Amino acid sequence: MPSIRTLKSFLAVARHGSFAAAGKEIGLTAAAVGLQIRSLETDLNQTLFDRSGRAIVLNTAGRGLVDPVKELVARYESLPARQRGEELTGTVVIGALVSALMGSFADGLWALMRKHPGLEVKLFAGLSADFARRVDQGELDAAVITQPPDRLPSNLIWTALYSEPLVLIVPRRPHFAMHANPLEILMQCPFLRFDRQAWTGHLVNEALEQCGATVREGMELNSVEAIVALVRQGFGVSIVPQLANVQWSRDRMLRIVPLPAITVQRHVGLLERKQHSRKRFTDAIKAYFASGNLGRAGAP
């Protein structure tokens, strides 16, 4: 009978298509993973992967096993939680925007981990579009991302957690002349733009359309944190989500300039598959925000 560890190795190889990459994830050598897979194939009396050089690809039999094996592993990992009542235990693998970790989501996550000390969270930082793919493929149990601009695959659901207004931030000590009028600032000062292809970048474009301003293009970056750092140093201005837990009103290097014409908000939420093994965790996260525990969300 295959062990749970062998079944986890099977799922890791299925995700990565490589013994080496799977071993790196689960803490085994590539050779050890290969032995486990061969043992599993012997126990089941069927080949599960097509091997071609270093490439290892699930065949028809292997693909048919993925969902049943996931269910077996999920049931096994849920046993400690059932024995300990309502306490959350085990490992959860989630993705989150770095800016979300500076905002309200961090409050919710740390509160949950304090309440459930047996819970281990593996956290990966990245971009919303990449996380959507990884959740869909089962590499992540869930991810905290910006609201998707397009329709999601039918097996994924996104639940709103909180919202952040988009605001204009400017340096207190700019390396350029800066007009007092907000629209003149946008049109005359170097504009540090969030990556147009990223989901937050779409929202910035929408905000600029609402202003009716044609900006003086400076740099284009895919990180709110990098943009804020450059604005602080006086290299440009930008429109970004107003992050919770970041006290910009007290910042000696930048300030917020009101833009009454902008009504765009960035909605941050939890992306998960409709069926997965960590629903108790994702339900707890959603319950935290539904109860109004938003910490300092939206504080300037």
Name the band, by pLDDT with cuts 50, 70 and 90, for residue 237.
very high
The answer to whether residue 300 scores a pLDDT higher than 50 is no
Q: What is the DSSP string of 108-172?
A: HHHHHHHH-TTEEEEEEE--HHHHHHHHHTTS-SEEEEEPPSSPPPTTEEEEEEEEEEEEEEEES
pLDDT tens, position by position, 68-84: 888 787 777 666 555 44
| Burial classification of residue 171, based on how many CB atoms lie within 10 Å of its CB (0-12 exposed, 13-18 middle, 19 or more buried) | buried
Spell out the long-range contacts of 288-294 with Cβ–Cβ below 8 A and sequence spacing 24 or more. Answer: 288/108, 288/111, 288/112, 289/104, 289/108, 289/161, 289/162, 293/107, 293/108, 293/111, 294/104, 294/107, 294/162, 294/244
DSSP 8-state code for residue 250: G
pLDDT tens, position by position, 252-294: 999 999 887 788 999 999 999 988 878 889 999 999 888 876 5
Q: What is the CATH number of domain 83-162+267-290?
A: 3.40.190.10
- Beta bridge pairs of residue 164: 266
pLDDT tens, position by position, 85-138: 556 777 889 999 888 887 778 888 888 888 888 888 889 988 888 898 888 878
Q: What is the CATH number of domain 4-79?
A: 1.10.10.10
Parse the chain into domains and list their residue ranges. 4-79, 83-162+267-290, 164-265
CA distance 122 to 139: 12
The yes/no answer on whether domain 164-265 falls in CATH 3.40.190.10 is: yes
CA distance 173 to 234: 6
The answer to whether residue 299 scores a pLDDT higher than 50 is no
pLDDT, position 294: 56
pLDDT, position 87: 65
Identical fold between 4-79 and 83-162+267-290: no
pLDDT, position 134: 87
pLDDT tens, position by position, 26-84: 888 889 999 999 999 999 999 999 987 777 889 999 888 888 888 787 777 666 555 44
CA distance 268 to 260: 22
Sequence-separated (6 or more) residues with CB below 8 Å from residue 86: none
pLDDT tens, position by position, 144-175: 999 988 888 888 999 999 999 999 999 999 99
Model-level pTM? 0.69
Q: Are strands 119-125 and 142-146 parallel, antiparallel or unpaired?
A: unpaired
